[in-house]
Amino acid sequence: MNPARKMVYGFGGGGADGDASLRNLLGGKGANLAEMARLGLPVPPGFTITTEVCTWFVAHDGAFPEGLEAQVHEAVAALERQLGKRFGDEENPLLVSVRSGARVSMPGMMDTVLNLGLNDRTVEGLARAAGDRRFAFDAYRRFIAMYGDVVLEIGAETKTDHDPFDERLERLKRERGVQHDFELAAEDLERLVADYKQLVVERTGAPFPDDPWEQLWGAVRAVFRSWDNPRAKEYRRMYHIPDEWGTAVNVQAMVFGNLGEDCATGVAFTRDPATGEKRIFGEFLVNAQGEDVVAGIRTPQPISLAQAGGDASARPLEVVMPEAYAQLLEIAHRLEQHYKDMQDVEFTIERGTLYMLQTRAGKRTGLAAVVIATDMVDEGLIDPKTAVLRIEADAMEHLLAPIFSADELREAEKSGRLLARGLPAGPGAATGSVVFHADDAKRLAAEGRDVILVRNETSPEDVGGMKAARGVVTARGGMTSHAALVARQMGKPCVVGCSALEIDYKQALIRIGDRVVREGDPISIDGVTGRVFEGTMTPHPSEVVQALVEGTRDLASSDIARRYARLLEWADEFRRLGVRTNADTPEQSREAVALGAEGIGLCRTEHMFFEGNRVTSVRRMILADDEAGRRAALSELLPMQREDFKGIFRAMGGRPVTIRTLDPPLHEFLPHGEQEIDALAAELGVPRDTLAAKIESLAEANPMLGHRGCRLGNTYPEITEMQARAILEAACEVAAEGVAVHPEIMIPLVGHREELARQRAIVERVATQVFAEQGREVDYLVGTMIELPRAALTADEIAGEAEFFSYGTNDLTQTTFGLSRDDAGKFLPFYIETGILPADPFQTLDQEGVGQLLEIGVRKGRSTRPELKIGICGEHGGDPRSIEFAHRVGLDYVSCSPRRLPVARVAAAQAALREAQA
Amino acid sequence: MNPARKMVYGFGGGGADGDASLRNLLGGKGANLAEMARLGLPVPPGFTITTEVCTWFVAHDGAFPEGLEAQVHEAVAALERQLGKRFGDEENPLLVSVRSGARVSMPGMMDTVLNLGLNDRTVEGLARAAGDRRFAFDAYRRFIAMYGDVVLEIGAETKTDHDPFDERLERLKRERGVQHDFELAAEDLERLVADYKQLVVERTGAPFPDDPWEQLWGAVRAVFRSWDNPRAKEYRRMYHIPDEWGTAVNVQAMVFGNLGEDCATGVAFTRDPATGEKRIFGEFLVNAQGEDVVAGIRTPQPISLAQAGGDASARPLEVVMPEAYAQLLEIAHRLEQHYKDMQDVEFTIERGTLYMLQTRAGKRTGLAAVVIATDMVDEGLIDPKTAVLRIEADAMEHLLAPIFSADELREAEKSGRLLARGLPAGPGAATGSVVFHADDAKRLAAEGRDVILVRNETSPEDVGGMKAARGVVTARGGMTSHAALVARQMGKPCVVGCSALEIDYKQALIRIGDRVVREGDPISIDGVTGRVFEGTMTPHPSEVVQALVEGTRDLASSDIARRYARLLEWADEFRRLGVRTNADTPEQSREAVALGAEGIGLCRTEHMFFEGNRVTSVRRMILADDEAGRRAALSELLPMQREDFKGIFRAMGGRPVTIRTLDPPLHEFLPHGEQEIDALAAELGVPRDTLAAKIESLAEANPMLGHRGCRLGNTYPEITEMQARAILEAACEVAAEGVAVHPEIMIPLVGHREELARQRAIVERVATQVFAEQGREVDYLVGTMIELPRAALTADEIAGEAEFFSYGTNDLTQTTFGLSRDDAGKFLPFYIETGILPADPFQTLDQEGVGQLLEIGVRKGRSTRPELKIGICGEHGGDPRSIEFAHRVGLDYVSCSPRRLPVARVAAAQAALREAQA
């Protein structure tokens, strides 16, 4: 790096070298400190070492660039001039804090060292200057402990050990017979300091550094090093933060909240981060230093009287330091006006004077996000575009989940009712009796019982049971297992991958360590955090669901539902991408329409095959020896499928409905257990062995790559014929009712143009017949899923036969990676944890690989048919980052489960708005 | 079509409008007739309607283009002028033959109508002109029957019926009490004509067309129509002939081989098509018309005395018509000199005068192809390049297969010993006792018994048994099933997919309909044609194998082996592509070197895991609870693997050896049967239920997409460590013996650069250790299989970590198509039969889809690393069309099973030569 390059940016005293726009260079904390200084807010002066220095440091094995030392010396000298103190001065020493600060807030890195600059001599100066020897040694022992911990890395030696500094403090308190730190006298603390320094010698083989400059450089180095520690790296991986960003270091003159009863330190949000309410919210401690608030040793006090429920005995800041409180309110207001967002601030009050140590956009719940965004539009602070951009799209779904109250959850965990943790696969909360089999779930639910279906994993046979259950728990499987996918589409609370559960189906019980939960016992699951509890709890549908989905609450009566709807209206104005839903039933369709679906992007006909006793006809069809037998069974299914489609067409009221023809391999519809095979043999009147042999002959080594999709429709054209007939007859009949109908018949798993051509020919032939029979025509399209690499690569060919494409990104991800969703549990989590893969490709579209196929398919498909309609109907259709990609490559729509629709609408709007910004 | 365009090309009378270069326009037959006419050979005059007319006809629903009628009329008029006869003339009628003739010879189309132009009046003229009334009516009845069959499509009404014309002929013969057609008198034939015409009225509702022009246009139309009949379409699909080529129609003046004892008709090859010997070879009939030779009613006579074994009583042409024979010899010589290839000719002798009706390159066996090609080079007729281009590459493998004699096969089939037909998956012939289990195969083979392993399908566990067996039969699976792949690599006779076999493992027997073959019963399999016989037969290793592979015969003693070696030397001169082999053992490696391998392209380490009792260590490793347990088991495997590699390095003598690290999912190494699990539990000393549960937990829904390849090496780095150590220790030790060693370590199933980077780091770390321990370094490379679409799409990334790529086109085809090789049997044959797919993508590389990924991978890979070495090691590495593609996209080498090496060498040379030609 050029030594003349500016590596150090000063702030404080009513001005700063940098400002908020330099976030990339100064980190969030440094940029905002500079910005606050420029605004004239009371910020203790200091300086920021840039992220560029960190990047250079990492690239050069921990060396500092030439020129840095001089610039830091100059910045410290400026501080000294401004404050009239000197770094290392034995009379009136300048003390500083050292904090990391990356472009985005990032846990896992070295956080803070306070009181840096103290040693055996300066501590005496501090004691004199403050007129408080106890305070000075308290600061000194805190400094050694923090520095020892984060810079010298002196920690517990084994997992069961306590922190060694804490241990020594506790020992001293026991010796002195006191309970609290503040009961220790100055001489006690002095002894503790000596004790601490002895510990440092023992553990590092060197004395504690008493040169303030050595202390400062050690702390800077520790911050930079911590950029690459495992926790920080993992966090970056999870949140897709590039390694190259680096962190800045903020060095700032100390102010003290622990100089007496007119001192304090605290944190505050400018609005309530849980509810979004427009009032300051936070907590503080009198006579304390920053970390005391977090440490939880003393109970902090609320900021405002309102926050304390009007109870002045809670000693809110508003009551105990009304002037500082007024000043804080004023600053909070200025910060919001300036940043146009809710802020999360840190402050210290030294002898009655308020100092601001940090400001940043405050994290908030989904509920608060919606409230704050809409409020700020009404306040004229932001425009609707900013409001939409401000929402984390995923949060839109949180407002739809049924919920347990936070109190109840806390209580349950405290009383030892937590059974297992797993992955939060389906949102919301549910409670009910344990059942292990889908049939039991259906039977008991029919009797009005609330049940939770608990299985090692689920299969399509379990869909009915999952629907009947209040919630689903699996011991195996990941976020994209069958259980997770189906549950999310159903909006069903679901926790998957609870590996602590050992399910014994035979004895009908679950073992968790030495605890046992039996069939029929009540459990409760929290799909938001992925926890399973013993016993019953009380879930409630959210207000938004009551008002927008269930219609059990008047929209006018729900402030939050109105705000939610308003945000979605804005999003709809801004987005270009269409939004459809994956829905297989009229109920799902109605829910989806309520949540903004502009059509159905994927209706899976096979899910209907499990309804009621249809599966018997399906099985008869599968087991038929010849086409005639298959046709006979199919003719039983025809009227049922037709009614299904009529229900869906009516529910969708004129919106396009994409219906996929039969996709899964036929063996998925057959029973595998001994008893079930016996029962089916009896039902069908065929010898048991014949049936078992037939089932065996349909088994496949790799069903994912087997006889499924259009391969079924091509080998058994009569299946496609029946389905096309059911769709088109339903369309004609509903059209006759005066409802517009736009069926789009989608052929799955096409890899070669000719596969589609033949299926298309069948559909067209059936259409001609049906229209003649019904004396009525309806518009319909024939298109295909693009879910095989070959389909994307030959999209120009396939577009010759297809009026639309729908990317089945689940299967496309499986084939592009050669990765079975069902089996990935054995290594995919490890791959993601250890950074071999940057993210789970089933959750977030792999833009680098699978994305190339999307782009190729769009380009080639439109080269043949420029008007080709292209959507996405995999799980990625509801993932915000994937939606942004879909927008960017020019898709026409995304399709997702009903409850993801609000997410998709917001994400689509954000994609359009960000594109316009760029 | 422009009516002025030339649609009709005349020939005969010492000249022609066209010549042999117009094959695309005139078809093979027409072009060669023109060429022969130009050479002044005795060709009856005629004309050819071009293939363009056919294409137009097909595109216009069977209409003829404007202008055609006039050109045909003019051509017929020219014939009339030349021959002094008139079409439809009642005195001296011109009769013609009408034959189809496409660019390449193509069965399934309408073949021939002879004697066209006859009716009740012209027949009388013919009788008078020939001075033979019986001849004239014989010609007439033949004409009606042929025309009725192929133009009017009057055939048997049910499958069990006879041809209705034949039926009437037979009835007449019974009535007349005669046995042979020639015993019927003129008046009998006259009655037969009437009978035939009555049949035509009955079946078509219209009289037989007696206008010669109507006859002619009907025949032309029938030829064009037959281009699109199902058999012709299927043939085109099998041989990749475009539908657009179309067929020509040849109309030619009749000459008669049935005008008396000085007349004859026959076919001949200019050299022996079975052995390649340089002597004319063929058969003929005296006093007969063309179709009589084929019909097989009379036994034809040989052409030459030599062919008759010097037996003049066989009445060869050389003896009965010495002048015509001499003329035929002379013409055969001229044709070979002209075409510079062995010819297959048709001729007719009319009253002592020889007429040539067709010439074309003659089909020949692999043996004959080699003999003829080398002979012709020696004769100076062709150069080595042409010789190499002339060989059908696949034929090179046929000369390596052990064989049953043709006599024995014919005899076996005649005597009802044929049990089943299947797919010819492994070349050659084998005989032995039926066994059903790999262990039995090994045990009995060790006792010196010849066994045939018969299974529903095979798995890696069976490899040892397959090796021990003389041959393998499976009831299920296709040409790329496990059994087929392994058998082909072993060069083991194998018939797969014999669906007629019902194997009952429990009772240890096979049912074929109501026949039963028991364990221990002898069977014989012919892998060349895919047949399974009851009883023993006698296979012999071919001469080429004895001389080149086994070394049991001196090369000098085998003419054919020397010729074979010579052809391969030529091929090696011309090819650019390298040729490597897939080999897992020193024996295979030695065989491959003998057959020209320049290195190993794929050495599958897992096959070694099944040798001897190693599988116990493998299983111990898999079932270990922790890394320490795995390491202990791996340390048992290390010395064994090291010895394996040493053997291979020595056998390959300095050639590069690509070794793939462990690829299959671990559960493939575990037993699944109850008894085997019991036995293993006892052996490992673990509770049976624990073992069963562990095996169950390793099961996968889609093992092809599961925990395998580098996913194993990344989750269990100690496996890669052990294998890298075994490879590099072996390399150092063999290098110490003075043998050059070039190991190339190949990481399988990489989808993301990082997967390879981590494996590469392990290999490099181990290499540093091993080289330090051994005090010696060897050159080695680290590279990867490209077998997932994502790997090809991100080849630029991956090439950053890879020094070579090897396309695993088997798996790449599976993932690109989303098609499991193991399961494709349920629909892939149907897809190919019905033309949904043009070919089996596992046999012939899908250039359109998978090929795109190859091209993308080559382009992107070399963009990062221009010197990147790229090969192919899937089964396609031995497929000529795929090899041509590999050449075209710029790969460095192909790798195939040892016995396919000669095929690959020739195919690679052909690809280079064709490219140079183009």
* B151: confidence class by pLDDT, cuts 50, 70, 90: very high
Q: Which of A706, A818, A823 sits opposite B788 (nearest CB)?
A: A818
Distances (CA, A) of A1 to A5, A24, A55, A66, A221: 7, 17, 11, 7, 17
Position B634 scores a pLDDT of 95
Contact B702 A705 (CB under 8 A): yes
- Taking the C-alpha atoms of residue A900 and residue A399, their distance in angstroms, rounded to an integer, is 11
- Higher confidence at residue A492 or residue A907? A907
For strands A418-421 and A531-534, give the pairing: antiparallel
Q: How far apart are the first and last CA of chain B?
A: 30
Distances (CA, A) of A548 to A486, A551, A558, A591, A596: 22, 6, 10, 9, 10
Query: Three-class SS of residue A558?
Result: coil
Q: What phi and psi, each to the nearest 5 degrees, are found at residue B420?
A: -160, 155
DSSP A74: H
Could you tell me where the DSSP H helices lie in B662-715? Answer: 674-684, 688-698, 710-715
pLDDT in tens, B336-380: 999 999 999 999 999 999 999 999 998 787 788 999 999 999 999
- Higher confidence at residue B238 or residue A599? A599
Nearest to B432, CA basis, from B397, B473, B463: B473
**Amino acid in the structure at residue A539:** P
pLDDT higher than threshold 60 for residue A294: no
Contact B823 A703 (CB under 8 A): yes
- Bridge partners (DSSP) of residue A526 are A429, A531
* B107: confidence class by pLDDT, cuts 50, 70, 90: low
- What does the pLDDT average to over A670-680? 88
Distance from CA of B825 to the nearest CA of A (A): 9
- Higher confidence at residue A232 or residue B10? B10
Contacts of B619 (CB under 8 A, 6+ apart): B669, B670, B680, B684
The sheet carrying B96-102 orders its strands as: B8-11, B46-49, B247-253, B96-102, B112-116
Angle of the A614-623 helix axis to the A688-698 helix axis, nearest 10: 80
Closest residue in A to B815 (Cα) is: A815
Q: Which of B815, B827, B835 sits opposite A818 (nearest CB)?
A: B815
If one counts every other C-beta atom within 10 angstroms of the C-beta of residue A860, the result is 18
Position B407 scores a pLDDT of 83
Contact A820 B711 (CB under 8 A): no
Q: Find out whether B788 and B749 touch, Cβ atoms under 8 Å.
A: yes
pLDDT higher than threshold 60 for residue A46: yes
Contact A817 B751 (CB under 8 A): yes
DSSP A495: E
- What does the pLDDT average to over A876-892? 95
Q: Where are the beta strands (DSSP E) in A362-428?
A: 418-421, 423-426
Position A480 scores a pLDDT of 52
- Taking the C-alpha atoms of residue B487 and residue B472, their distance in angstroms, rounded to an integer, is 8
Closest residue in B to A709 (Cα) is: B818
Where is average pLDDT lowest: A46-60, A685-699, A794-808, B767-781? A685-699
Q: One of A482, A607, A667, A887 is an active-site residue; which one?
A: A482
Show residues of chain A in contact with B752, CB under 8 Å. Answer: 836-837, 849
Position B239 scores a pLDDT of 66
Where is average pLDDT lowest: A503-517, A804-818, B829-843, B901-915? B829-843
Distances (CA, A) of B124 to B182, B190, B263, B563: 19, 11, 21, 59
**Amino acid in the structure at residue B12:** G
In terms of Cβ atoms closer than 10 Å to its own Cβ (0-12, 13-18, 19+), residue B183 is exposed
pLDDT higher than threshold 70 for residue B227: yes
- Give the residue from A708, A823, A840, A842 with the most B CB atoms within 10 Å of its CB, the best one to mutate: A823
- Taking the C-alpha atoms of residue B272 and residue B318, their distance in angstroms, rounded to an integer, is 16
Where is average pLDDT lowest: A60-64, A377-381, B106-110? B106-110
Show residues of chain B in contact with A835, CB under 8 Å. Answer: 754
- Give the residue from A710, A715, A807, A819 with the most B CB atoms within 10 Å of its CB, the best one to mutate: A819
pTM: 0.81
Mean pLDDT of chain A: 92
Distance from CA of B808 to the nearest CA of A (A): 13
* A459: confidence class by pLDDT, cuts 50, 70, 90: confident
Q: Which of A793, A822, A849 sits opposite B702 (nearest CB)?
A: A822
pLDDT higher than threshold 60 for residue B865: yes
pLDDT in tens, B528-563: 778 999 999 998 888 899 999 999 999 999 999 999
- What does the pLDDT average to over B668-686? 89
pLDDT in tens, A545-569: 999 999 999 999 999 999 999 999 9
* A382: confidence class by pLDDT, cuts 50, 70, 90: very high
DSSP B880: H
- Taking the C-alpha atoms of residue A180 and residue A175, their distance in angstroms, rounded to an integer, is 12
Catalytic residues of B: 482, 873
If one counts every other C-beta atom within 10 angstroms of the C-beta of residue B36, the result is 26
Distances (CA, A) of B406 to B266, B410, B429, B574, B833: 24, 6, 12, 35, 29
Position A32 scores a pLDDT of 96
* B406: confidence class by pLDDT, cuts 50, 70, 90: confident
Q: What percent of chain B clears pLDDT 70, i.e. is strictly above it?
A: 97
- Give the residue from A459, A712, A752, A837 with the most B CB atoms within 10 Å of its CB, the best one to mutate: A752
Contacts of B833 (CB under 8 A, 6+ apart): B234
Contact A758 B706 (CB under 8 A): no
- What does the pLDDT average to over A289-300? 67
The two structure tokens encoding residue A278: 């427009």
pLDDT in tens, A636-670: 999 999 999 999 999 999 999 999 999 999 999 99
- Higher confidence at residue B291 or residue A384? A384
List, as one string, the DSSP characters of A149-163: IIIS----SSTTSPP
Q: Find out whether A108 and A232 touch, Cβ atoms under 8 Å.
A: yes
The two structure tokens encoding residue A131: 């007129």
**Angle at alpha carbon of residue A634, lines to A628 and A640, rounded to 5°:** 160
Q: Find out whether A667 and A623 touch, Cβ atoms under 8 Å.
A: no
**Amino acid in the structure at residue B914:** R
pLDDT higher than threshold 90 for residue A107: no
Show residues of chain A in contact with B797, CB under 8 Å. Answer: 848
Distances (CA, A) of A149 to A157, A165, A166, A668, B209: 12, 8, 11, 57, 109
Q: Where are the beta strands (DSSP E) in A287-330?
A: 301-302
**Distance of alpha carbon A52 from the chain centroid:** 30
Angle of the A627-652 helix axis to the A586-594 helix axis, nearest 10: 30
Contacts of A409 (CB under 8 A, 6+ apart): A526, A529, A531, A537
Position B405 scores a pLDDT of 78
Q: Is the dihedral of CA A614, A616, A619, A624 positive or negative?
A: negative
Q: Is the dihedral of CA A73, A74, A77, A78 positive or negative?
A: negative
pLDDT higher than threshold 70 for residue A234: no
- What does the pLDDT average to over A352-366? 90
Position A362 scores a pLDDT of 86
Position A527 scores a pLDDT of 82
Distance from CA of A708 to the nearest CA of B (A): 10
For strands A301-302 and A281-286, give the pairing: antiparallel
Show residues of chain B in contact with A848, CB under 8 Å. Answer: 794, 797
Ramachandran assignment for A353, one of left (phi > 0), alpha (psi -120 to 50 degrees), beta (any other): beta
- What does the pLDDT average to over B859-866? 98
Position B180 scores a pLDDT of 83
Q: What percent of chain B clears pLDDT 90, i.e. is strictly above it?
A: 73
Q: Which helix (H) or strand (E) holds A376?
A: helix A366-378
Position A368 scores a pLDDT of 87
Contact B818 A751 (CB under 8 A): yes
Position A482 scores a pLDDT of 74
Where is average pLDDT lowest: A528-532, A814-818, A856-860, B629-633? A528-532
- Bridge partners (DSSP) of residue A251 are A47, A98
Contacts of B117 (CB under 8 A, 6+ apart): B87, B88, B93, B94, B95, B96, B212, B215, B216
Distances (CA, A) of A163 to A149, A177, B652: 9, 21, 62
Nearest to A705, CA basis, from A799, A597, A815, A796: A815
* A37: confidence class by pLDDT, cuts 50, 70, 90: very high
pLDDT higher than threshold 80 for residue B478: no
**Amino acid in the structure at residue A128:** R
Q: Find out whether B759 and B713 touch, Cβ atoms under 8 Å.
A: yes
Closest residue in B to A749 (Cα) is: B818
- Taking the C-alpha atoms of residue B33 and residue B15, their distance in angstroms, rounded to an integer, is 10
DSSP B541: -
- Give the residue from A666, A790, A840 with the most B CB atoms within 10 Å of its CB, the best one to mutate: A790
The two structure tokens encoding residue B845: 């590389």
Query: Three-class SS of residue A622?
Result: helix
Nearest to B424, CA basis, from B355, B372, B472, B369: B472
Contact A715 B827 (CB under 8 A): yes
Contact B707 A837 (CB under 8 A): no
- Taking the C-alpha atoms of residue A63 and residue A53, their distance in angstroms, rounded to an integer, is 10
| CB half-sphere exposure, A44, CA atoms < 13 A | 24
The two structure tokens encoding residue B231: 């058999």
* B485: confidence class by pLDDT, cuts 50, 70, 90: low
pLDDT higher than threshold 60 for residue A708: yes
Q: How many CB pairs under 8 A join A and B?
A: 165
Contact B820 A793 (CB under 8 A): no
- Taking the C-alpha atoms of residue A396 and residue A365, their distance in angstroms, rounded to an integer, is 10
Position B275 scores a pLDDT of 80
Q: Which of A702, A752, A755 sits opposite B704 (nearest CB)?
A: A702
- Taking the C-alpha atoms of residue A394 and residue A165, their distance in angstroms, rounded to an integer, is 42
The sheet carrying B502-504 orders its strands as: B502-504, B509-512, B515-518
- What does the pLDDT average to over B259-272? 92
Q: How far apart are the first and last CA of chain A?
A: 30
Q: Is the dihedral of CA B907, B908, B910, B911 positive or negative?
A: positive
Position A610 scores a pLDDT of 79
- Taking the C-alpha atoms of residue A309 and residue A326, their distance in angstroms, rounded to an integer, is 18
- Taking the C-alpha atoms of residue A536 and residue A412, their distance in angstroms, rounded to an integer, is 10
- What does the pLDDT average to over B566-573? 98
Distance from CA of A476 to the nearest CA of B (A): 11
- Higher confidence at residue A513 or residue A891? A891
Q: Find out whether A101 and A28 touch, Cβ atoms under 8 Å.
A: yes
pLDDT in tens, B110-136: 778 999 999 999 999 999 999 999 999
Nearest to B913, CA basis, from B571, B568, B598: B571
The two structure tokens encoding residue B207: 């009289």
